[in-house]
Each structure stands twice: as C-alpha cells, then as structure tokens.
Chain A
C-alpha cells in the first residue's frame, strides 16, 4: 500500500487495491485498476486526467454512491467494500458533494436549498439550521439572495449555493466533480477560490476532479489519472 502522507495519523479516506468493473458477462470491462490513495484532514487534492479515465467513478465510490466491488475503501472510519445501505447513507451524510450541474431544488429558495443540507445535521433546532443556512450564504457572498429561487440566480451564484448546501451538513470531506465546468473562466476561478477558503475555514478536506489547468494552483496535492490508473502519485505544489 502506498501511503501518501505517512505522517498523518487518521486519514479521512484511505483506499487500497481498488478495482472496479462496469457491465456484465461479455460487456464486463475494468475501469479502475489497483488504486491506492489517502485523503488527510484539511487537504485540498485535485484529480485530473483525460475524459473517460475513471475520475467520476472513483468519486462515486468514495462518496458511497456506488457499491465498492473489490479492494478496500475506508471513509470516515467505515469500510465501504460491499457496505450496506445504512452504512452508505451514514457516510453520505458526513460528506458534501458538488456536481457539475448545481442540481438545486427548483422549488426551494437559496436558503431553503442550503437548509436541505443543514437539515441532515442532528441536534440543531429548525431556527438554528435556518440561521446556519443564511450565514453560510452570507459567507458565500450571497447575503441578499437567500430568498431567491434558483431560476433568479446566475450559474455562478447557483454553484455557490450548491457549495453552501454541501458545507451545511458539516461535512469532513467535500467531493467535487468539475464544479466549474458549467461556468465561465472568471466565475469558475472565483468559485474555486471560495471553495478553498470555505474548506479551510470549516476544516474540510476536498477532493476535486477538474480539467481546468488554470485552477490547479489552488491544490495542496495533484493526482493524475490515466486509463483507470493513478499515474502521478504525488505532485505537491509549492503554493
């Protein structure tokens, strides 16, 4: 097993010998080969690679959105190999996910969308969760927009609401799949910087898939993937 940060005592995510196949019978095709990877608290790791190399598949496996078939995937102390639905759900609640599309609920206001994330946090009253949602939106620079429906917001604003929603559940890991793909260059850059700031502020590790070479500099660590294999195991950037 290749441990990337051997000094770190409790990695949030540790993957060893992960293989994944799609399809059945003749159609069965391997897309991930013997992956080893760890994600430590507070890190921001960027994953890039050519289209179809398996980045999204890896992300859905870590996010407990897909059943792990082979190898070990330990996330927040839970083994996801052939994990049950209840385990998957528990892991999902402790992770924030940001998609290429914002996927906000169209019928809810910005604040209500964020609160859909906050509602997953146990122990807080409705009012506290509501306040938390409004505060998060303010941190995302959307102070005056919390009563607006997604249709009244720009793409960048929607993506920022989506980030606030992902952070609202107090996640320890944030998974993002090309969150800037649907945005123009400048907005994309802003959103990523905001994401980084928020992740640091909320002590949240980030694993982000991106194609965008201009934002690679925000990463603490870069991962390169090709044909289902991690090629550059480590490429620390001097920020």
Chain B
C-alpha cells in the first residue's frame, strides 16, 4: 500500500510547533549539546594542530633528533657530529643544526618568570619558511638578540606594544639580558605559550657557554638534492648512524609530535569525553521531550491506531519529530560554534575554526543522538492500546 508515501497532514511538524515551550526546551538541549561538541572537538583539533605549527615551517626533508626525545617539550641534546656524518651522503644537499629548549623568560614589565620556547639556529641558514624572517634574521648575527613571537601569551609582557612604540625592549632569559630585535608570528601550542628565535651562539650563551659554542644540538635539519626520496634516505641514515639519534622524514616528524599529544597525554581523551558529555546531555533532553510527548498523547495515538493507522505510521511520526529536532537544533548550534571559535581565536591565538569536516561530524552526532532518543521514546508507543481508550 502506497499509504506512507503520499502527502498527508504533517503530524510531526504540528506536534512540535504547536507546543512551543516544549520545542524550545528540546532545541535548547540540542543546541547546548552541539555547542559543547563544537567547543570540545574544536579545541582538541586546534591544540593538536597548534602543536606542530612550528614543525610544519621547518625547511627540511629529513630531521635528526635524539633517540631520547619524546616531544617538543622534552627535546634532548645529541652530538652535532651526527649531523655532519649525515652530510657526507651524496643525496644530502645541505644541513642546519638547530638548538631547541624551554628557557625561563622574565616579563620585562613585571619581572615574573615563565618558560618560553627558544629556537636557536645559524642566521645564515634558511631554516623556517616564516614570513618576515628572511629580512629580520640578519639582526641575529649580533649577540644577545632575539626575535619574539607576537602571538605569545600576554603574560610574557607587552613586548609588541613597546617595540611598536619605538622602545628598546630587553628581557632576561636565564638571567642573561637579551634584546628583542623584531617580531615574528608563530602561535602558541600545548608545549609553548610563547616562542622566540635566536642564533645558535646566543642560545649557547644562554645555556652558559662562554664562547657561544656547543657540541650538542637538539634538532638536525637535512635538505636533500632534488629527486632524492626522503623515505629511502631516512632508512639509509637510520641504519648507518649510531642509535643515539632517530632519523625521521618531515612528515614523520610532524606525526611524532602529534602522536605524543594524542597518545602519551589524556588531552584527546578529555576533550572527547567533554564532547561525549554534550552528546549524553542532549540525548537525555531529546529523549525526555519525545517521551513526555508520547505519554501526553497516548489516548490520541491509541485513537489513531483504532482508526487504522499502523504502529509503523506512529513510529514514523516520532522519527520525523526527532529528525526535525536534529535539523532545527543544529542550526543555532552551528552559529554558536562559529561564534565560540571566533572568540577563542581572539582570546588564545589558537588556530581554531569551523571546518566543514567538523560541521558535518557534529551534525552526524546530533542526528544520531536524536534518532537514538526517538527510538528509545518509541518504546512507550506500545502502551497506546486502542482497546483501552473507551
């Protein structure tokens, strides 16, 4: 019977729209769930994304790190010699030694100390594809000069404002006075809420080397001749070099950092849990609404059954209600999510935004949530017994 397919009274629509109070509660619940999911998952993705913001910029095909390094916040030194050894391979075009570590920076205004991620490199090398670096890095030839990340958290001091107002900005790093020579734009991450770039020499001095030299580095960048395959070269180097270093292609290096935050910390779990909480709260609200809707209309549903409507027809009505709720609850959640991302971006400098993948994913979750709630509420329809309504 083609009964279900032709146009009929839009019962689900009428049930929802003619009970505006109930509809508002349901939509608020769904909107809340959606917002929470956007917030939690957005943060999760943004943080994972931010954790490799600087890694992405490195100008390298293959990198060396110490075999004991586990992430950007625990970069261990290894002998610089390893990098020079690697340079003897014909596929290697050039190398750049890089120093890397969290150093204590004193806020130039208040003097309060805070760990900042410092990266030291030879100012003649082109190690980061970062806007404005090429022009500014010459200044790092001078000792005790640094470039400051203007996206660093404000707790590090009003460096940008002072610099722009023409002041000479100096600050203490590990009790050595340095001068900020310019600004770059890198962004904060889990590991670092501020960044500064400096020369190898200055970095070594900050660590206490009197003449600014060191036999250790934390990161070795290797660029290959055109046409060489990074994967193959990495394997060759891995076998040839002593195992105090790990040899990674650039994409492995990015994955290495992200994997740390994903698997060695509970950050991912916490955000997923937050999103799941939103889902549960939303599901409970929608279930409650649909359930009480069914209970309130039991005699009416029983009447429909007595008239000859099948249980399937009624199930369809509840399902339609949940789909309508999903659709109409998602729209405000989407815009609220966009708003939250905007606020978060301006407050934290995190690279957070509404991606289409996220938009679709949250919609799918809300959709599933509403359908499951609807299916649970349907159980109550069995109580609509047409024999009991007289």
Contact = CB atoms under 8 A, between A and B. Distances in A.
Interface stretch (B62-70, B98-106, B298-306): B298-306
Contact of B308 (A99, A100, A108, A169): A169
Contact of B390 (A59, A89, A120, A169): A59
A92 B299 CA distance: 16
Nearest to A166: B307
Contacts of A101: 299, 389
Contacts of A106: 18, 297, 300
Contact of A107 (B15, B299, B389): B15
A34 interface: no
Interface in B354-390: 386-387, 389-390
Interface in A10-28: none
A153 to B, nearest CB: 15
Given A93-B308, A116-B304, A116-B307, A105 B297 contact: yes
Contacts of B307: 92-93, 97, 116-117, 120, 165-166, 169
A115 interface: yes
Given A92-B307, A116-B307, A120-B307, A108 B9 contact: yes
B390 A99 contact: yes
A149 B310 CA distance: 25
Given A56-B390, A66-B387, A92 B306 contact: yes
Contacts of B310: 89
Nearest to A92: B308
Contacts of A112: 9, 14
A126 B7 contact: yes
Nearest to B7: A126
B11 interface: yes
A6 interface: no
A192 to B, nearest CB: 18
A92 B387 CA distance: 12
A87 to B, nearest CB: 12
A56 B305 CA distance: 17
Given A65-B387, A126-B6, A105 B308 contact: no
Interface in A33-91: 56, 59-60, 63, 65-66, 89-90
Interface in A116-138: 116-117, 119-120, 122, 126
Interface string B300-338: 101111111110000000000000000000000000000
A209 to B, nearest CB: 9
A8 interface: no
B300 A105 contact: yes
B215 interface: no
A118 to B, nearest CB: 9
Given A103-B300, A115-B9, A108 B14 contact: yes
Contacts of A92: 305-308, 386
Which of B15, B299, B303, B390 has the most A CB atoms < 10 Å from its CB?
B390
B295 to A, nearest CB: 14
Interface residues of B, number: 28
Interface in B272-318: 297, 299-300, 302-310
Interface residues of A, number: 35
Given A63-B306, A89-B308, A105-B300, A177 B390 contact: yes
Max chain A C-beta neighbours (<10 A), residue from B1, B9, B11, B305: B9
Contacts of A107: 11, 14-15, 18-19
A92 B46 CA distance: 59
B308 A120 contact: yes
B3 A122 contact: yes
A102 B235 CA distance: 82
B8 interface: yes
Nearest to A109: B14
Given A99-B389, A107-B15, A119 B308 contact: no
Given A59-B390, A65-B386, A122-B3, A149 B18 contact: yes
Which of B14, B310, B387 has the most C-beta atoms of chain A within 10 angstroms of its own C-beta? B387
A149 B14 CA distance: 11
B11 A105 contact: yes
Contacts of A103: 299-300, 302-303, 389
Nearest to A67: B387
Contacts of B386: 60, 63, 65, 92
Contacts of B6: 126
Given A93-B307, A120-B307, A120-B308, A60 B19 contact: no
B9 A116 contact: yes
A93 B306 CA distance: 8
Contacts of B3: 120, 122
A60 B299 contact: no
> Which of A90, A100, A119, A122 has the largest number of chain B CB atoms within 10 A?
A119
Contacts of B11: 105, 107-108, 116
Nearest to B303: A103
Contacts of B297: 105-106
A66 B3 CA distance: 24
21 contacts: A56-B390, A63-B306, A65-B387, A90-B308, A92-B307, A101-B389, A104-B300, A105-B304, A106-B18, A106-B297, A106-B300, A107-B11, A108-B11, A108-B14, A108-B18, A115-B9, A116-B11, A119-B9, A122-B2, A126-B7, A169-B307
Given A89-B310, A92-B386, A105-B297, 18 more contacts: A56-B390, A89-B308, A92-B306, A92-B308, A97-B306, A103-B300, A103-B302, A104-B300, A105-B304, A106-B300, A107-B11, A107-B14, A116-B304, A120-B3, A122-B2, A122-B3, A126-B6, A126-B7
Report, nearest first, the 5 A-B pairs whose CB atoms are least far apart.
Answer: A93-B308, A92-B308, A107-B18, A103-B303, A126-B7
